[in-house]
């Protein structure tokens, strides 16, 4: 079986200086494309159901869809809940076939974030599920600004929560359309000097490919979350298909026209962090 936990794909990545992509899912067409490309390249992939995805499709349905694709794949596939904001959301993921959950307590006080993350880690580990936490706050382009991760707080967080992966804020930003994010690798090295844990960068669409490779090779960052980059590919492709085919009204035909473009973008993402 190729269904994998987060730890099962991130620990080898950390040891061997590469990274695994956490790809944000919004529907069948994109998640199918992500898994197919990962299998073609024979690299692991993390398929992620974030808040927008869960708002549109219930977690029990997503769990079955993710597991169906993961169990058919010959490459490791992690079925991941991204940005769970409550124990209830994370528990629902655990109960419905997800192999990894991310609890986002980044808006809480440090101690409350630690306490709630630790509680979810205990729940997850009892069920054989990995847990990702977040320390610091990764902001949003044209929205709330980031709060950088403090290395000492990261050390305390990693030690007390015993989470399997830790998302950090070092200049990365959610929903960024342009690849102009400037990240000082020394900021990452200062964090990993105090806590030897797989690190995660949310908002990685704004990081150019060369910098992603450099970060993967030189630091303990071994998970890059990619959403906006692929969402833009889908939107641009769908818009082109509709404009070129004004007489097609069948949604399945229109959505299927996006798959080649999604797969091409996915291949670029995976090749630039999983293979050097």
Active site residues: 82
CA distances to 3, 45, 200, 222, 260 from 8, in Å? 10, 11, 15, 12, 29
How far apart CA 173 and CA 16 sit, in angstroms, is 26
Strand partners, 165: 132
Q: What gap in Å lies between CA 3 and CA 65, rounded to an integer?
A: 13
CA nearest to 132, candidates 45, 47, 6, 24: 6
Quick one: tokens of 192?
């990993």
CB atoms within 10 A of CB 165: 25
């Amino acid at each position: 079986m190729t269904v994998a936990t987060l730890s099962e794909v991130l620990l080898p990545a950390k040891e061997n200086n590469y990274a695994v992509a956490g790809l944000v899912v919004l529907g069948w067409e994109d998640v199918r494309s992500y898994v197919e490309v990962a299998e073609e390249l024979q690299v692991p992939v993390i398929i992620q159901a974030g808040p927008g995805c869960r708002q549109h499709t219930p977690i029990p349905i997503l769990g079955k869809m993710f597991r169906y694709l993961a169990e058919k794949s010959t490459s490791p596939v992690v079925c991941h809940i991204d940005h769970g904001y409550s124990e209830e959301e994370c528990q629902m993921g655990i109960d419905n076939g997800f192999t990894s959950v991310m609890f986002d307590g980044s808006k809480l006080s440090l101690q409350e974030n630690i306490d709630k993350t630790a509680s979810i880690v205990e729940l997850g580990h009892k069920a054989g599920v990995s847990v990702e936490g977040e320390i610091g706050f990764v902001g949003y382009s044209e929205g709330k600004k980031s709060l950088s991760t403090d290395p000492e707080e990261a050390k305390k967080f990693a030690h007390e929560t015993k989470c399997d992966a830790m998302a950090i804020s070092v200049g990365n930003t959610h929903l960024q359309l342009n690849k102009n994010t400037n990240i000082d690798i020394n900021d990452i090295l200062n964090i990993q000097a105090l806590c030897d844990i797989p690190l995660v960068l949310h908002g990685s669409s704004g990081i150019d490919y060369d910098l992603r490779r450099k970060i993967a090779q030189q630091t303990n960052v071994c998970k890059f979350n990619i959403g906006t980059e692929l969402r833009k590919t889908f939107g641009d492709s769908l818009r082109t298909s509709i404009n070129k085919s004004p007489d097609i009204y069948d949604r399945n035909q229109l959505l299927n026209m996006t798959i080649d473009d999604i797969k091409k973008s996915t291949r670029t993402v995976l090749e630039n962090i999983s293979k050097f």
